[in-house]
Amino acid sequence: MGVPRVPEKGETYERGQSFYAAPYVELEYGLTNRVTTSVYVEGQGTAGDSALFTGWRVEGRYRPMLKQHWLNPVLYLEYESLNDASRIAKDIVGSGPDLDIWNWALRNTKAHELEGKLILSSDIREWNVAGNFVADKNLLRGEGFEFGYAFGVSRALGIHRSASGCVWCRQRFVAGLELYGGLYVAPTVSWSLKHRGTVRFSPAVGLGHESSRLLFRLGYSFDLPKFRRENAGDDGL
């Protein structure tokens, strides 16, 4: 959910930034211990404007090394079939999405994009440090490449598991901080539930004129036991 930035005096917009919600659903499957693939569908709704379907994405991840090392790389490739009304803040390249244009003007502009990413992560004592470097190319327009990056640190609030299996133990919570392309900084917290579910919340603060003033990101993930793999895990950002 995005909270609009207050325009500075003298600025003119076609509509002005408005509150919006941009949900997406992801289905991920581990093909092997090294390769995972995901499918996304997404949409958005803007206060005082409209709600619409904004597109879909397919991604693949390849982990070159199975065992944990001091630096763990993951190679990522994604194909996106979107329109310009997409406001998903999963990755941010360039200056980010248009936030002050009417949806009807954005929905007819299509984008077929190919995105590559190098994800690097490392565990330093109790801390996990991760970063990714993104290159994005629109295949329909005569545009060059757009680039982006993100960095983050996180750690569990407790190290040892409680024998009681309590729901609110510190060991079930992970807190961190993320930076997205110089546009947003975001504290994060995740809570591991008992039945293979995880809830994540992150309020992001906009750092530039092209950013929303605030973004509130809320997510829930569930690991289906039938398809669960021992080596499946979070690759970071």
Quick check: is 236 in a domain?
no
- Residue range 150-165: mean pLDDT, rounded: 82
Provide the pLDDT for residue 8: 47
pLDDT digits (tens, 9 = 90+) for 208-229: 777 778 889 999 999 887 655 5
Quick check: is 2 in a domain?
no
Quick check: is 223 in a domain?
yes
Residue with the two structure tokens 């309020």: 203
> Cα–Cα–Cα angle for 206, 203, 228, nearest 5°?
125
Partners of 209 in beta bridges? none
Provide the pLDDT for residue 10: 43
For residue 159, give both structure tokens.
């190290």
Overall number of domains in the chain: 1
Provide the pLDDT for residue 158: 85
Domain hosting 209: range is 18-227
Quick check: is 1 in a domain?
no
Provide the pLDDT for residue 94: 59
CATH of residue 101's domain is 2.40.160.40
Quick check: is 209 in a domain?
yes
Provide the pLDDT for residue 162: 63
Cα 189 from Cα 25, distance rounded (Å): 20
Residue with the two structure tokens 């947003």: 184
Q: Pick the residue with more confidence: 80 or 16? A: 80
Asked whether the CA dihedral 12, 14, 18, 23 is positive or negative, the reply is negative
Quick check: is 11 in a domain?
no
Quick check: is 124 in a domain?
yes
Asked whether the CA dihedral 227, 224, 116, 45 is positive or negative, the reply is positive
DSSP 8-class letter at 33: S
